[in-house]
Amino acid sequence: MTSTFKASIAALATTTMLAGAAGAGSHSNLEGTLRIISDMSNPAPRAIMESLAADFDAMHPNLSVELEIVDREAWKSQIRNALSANPPDVINWYAANRMGPYVDSGLFMDISDWWAAGDFAGLESVQGAMTIDGKQWGVPYTYYQWGIYYREDIFNELGLTEPATFEEEIANCQKILDAGKKCYSIGSKFLWTAGGWFDYLNMRTNGFDFHMQLAQGEVAWTDDRVRETFANWRKLIDMGAYIDDHQTYSWQEALPFVVNGEATAYLIGNFAVPHLREAGLTDDQIDFYQFPKIADVAMGEDAPTDTFHVASGATNIDAAREFLKFVTSPDVQTRINGPDGLGQLPVNANASVADDEFIQQGFEMLSQNATGGIAQFFDRDFPAEMASIGMEGLQEFMVFPDNLEDILGRLEQARQRIYK
């Protein structure tokens, strides 16, 4: 369903003092109409998007902001037509390789000059996610961390500490298995959770750059370095580290194994935390750590990132530029990603972070310890068809690791066909 929002007097009455603070020093001479199409259609994101439009409208008396909100899933099939037929000035999308088709088609504007001019100070750590061919094609506005969420109380009972290396991870896992528990819960029924394990094992084994080369089709799946990633993964599989029959569970259906203490950890995004809390676990019982080091490579992280872009056919470029500066400014980032907003991580390093243990840990990790780079997750970094075929193979490997050579052969055939 599509609806149109125009900042009105009633809407403006509900906005915060942020407009005045963020507007200091902004261009008051913007005029005309700024057209925005957003896929922030769920209730909380929609409220944020509407308030952003209202705030920006209030800052610029001669500018009319028109916001059209479209269904998030429908937008995935509508975006190309929207950018081609009657392009807006600003749209929502995703970072990294998910930008590729619209960059290659000339539908996103190159805004490298704006980055170079210092428009987006504080976003340096996430600039790479907006870069293709050495140029920047938009700005991020929110992201969230992945990592290992674990039962801290069970670790304490078993005398375990957070591992810094893969060897320590395996040693911990053996003690957990000896105690009659599984090391990890996972629900791979819908495949993508297996992608998270591959992302981390590959980035830790071969590095972020190699992982992205694989995602871009520049490395064969039969490369020995890819085999090394699967060899590290098999160490965990052969130990019996994962819950049984994980291919029959969704990610939500696998959470009770952690809640009940049958498994001690889950490699997942921060979106799982509210579910663990709702199931009765306290913050004293759960904690978080960065996926440990394997090889001597910089630490890349999965942090799916949502973005704003300027359409190449935009008609109000000045207003679009100012809007991107506005949404990425520290005050706005603090507000929209706070507990009353998206409840995620601000992309601006100068923003304030919500007073939440896991948000704080994620912000510190991504701001200071993601030395290798920020990946967007398997099904965003790989082209859609390759991601689908790839995740099928990853799940199969977790259940039937002896099938590895057949799996790699199929993935390599798909790579040669898809990227050609």
Can you give the CATH number for the domain in which 47 is found?
Answer: 3.40.190.10
321 assigned to some structural domain: yes
pLDDT at 367: 82
342 assigned to some structural domain: yes
361 assigned to some structural domain: no
pLDDT tens, the chain, 420 aa long: 333 433 332 333 334 434 444 443 444 689 999 999 999 988 889 999 999 999 999 999 999 999 999 998 889 889 999 999 999 999 999 998 789 899 999 999 999 999 999 999 999 988 988 999 999 999 999 999 999 999 999 999 999 999 999 999 999 999 999 999 999 999 999 999 999 999 999 999 999 999 999 999 999 999 999 999 999 999 999 999 999 999 999 999 999 999 999 999 999 999 999 899 999 999 999 999 999 999 999 999 999 999 999 999 999 999 999 999 999 999 999 999 988 888 899 999 899 998 899 999 998 998 888 889 889 999 989 988 999 999 999 999 999 999 999 999 999 999 999 998
Q: What is Dmax (Cα atoms) for the chain?
A: 69
Q: HSE-up of 78 (CA within 13 Å, CB side)?
A: 19
**What CA–CA distances, in Å, run from 271 to 143, 275, 332, 343?**
11, 8, 22, 9
Note whether 210 and 279 are same-domain residues: yes
CB environment 103-136: b (16+ within 10 A), e (fewer) = beeebbbbbeebbeeebbebbebbebbbbbeeeb
How many angstroms from the chain centroid is the CA of residue 409? 29
Q: How far apart are CA 98 and CA 100, in angstroms?
A: 5
Q: Which residues pair with 293 in a beta bridge?
A: 165
Note whether 344 and 408 are same-domain residues: no
Q: How far apart are CA 402 and CA 238, in angstroms?
A: 11
pLDDT at 28: 60
The residue segments making up the domain with residue 29 are 3-143+305-351
Q: What are phi and psi of 311, to 5 degrees?
A: -70, 145
Domain tally, the chain: 2
pLDDT at 125: 83
Torsion, Cα 147 151 153 154, to 10 degrees, reads -120
Note whether 155 and 115 are same-domain residues: no
pTM for the model stands at 0.82
Note whether 167 and 67 are same-domain residues: no
356 assigned to some structural domain: no
Query: 208-215 and 192-206 are packed helices; what angle lies between their axes, rounded to 10 degrees?
Result: 130
Note whether 133 and 48 are same-domain residues: yes
N residues, the chain: 420
364 assigned to some structural domain: no
Note whether 171 and 222 are same-domain residues: yes
Note whether 44 and 123 are same-domain residues: yes
Note whether 139 and 155 are same-domain residues: no
Contact (Cβ atoms closer than 8 angstroms) between residue 69 and residue 352: no
Structure tokens at 163: 């591992």
pLDDT at 3: 39
Report which residue type is found at 290: Q
pLDDT at 383: 87
Note whether 237 and 168 are same-domain residues: yes
217 assigned to some structural domain: yes
Q: How far apart are CA 119 and CA 30, in angstroms?
A: 17
Contact (Cβ atoms closer than 8 angstroms) between residue 103 and residue 70: no
130 assigned to some structural domain: yes
Task: Let me know how many helices (H) and strands (E) the chain has, helices first.
Answer: 19, 14
pLDDT at 96: 83
Q: How far apart are CA 418 and CA 383, in angstroms?
A: 8
Note whether 61 and 193 are same-domain residues: no
Note whether 237 and 332 are same-domain residues: no
Note whether 311 and 275 are same-domain residues: no
Q: What is the DSSP string of 114-144?
A: HHHTTTTTT-GGGGGGGEETTEE--EEEEE-
Boundary (domain end) residue, out of 351, 386, 408: 351
pLDDT at 84: 95
For residue 124, which of 103, 109, 139, 146 has the smallest C-alpha distance?
Answer: 139
399 assigned to some structural domain: yes
In 232-304, beta strands by DSSP E: 263-269, 286-289, 300-302
Boundary (domain end) residue, out of 293, 318, 351: 351
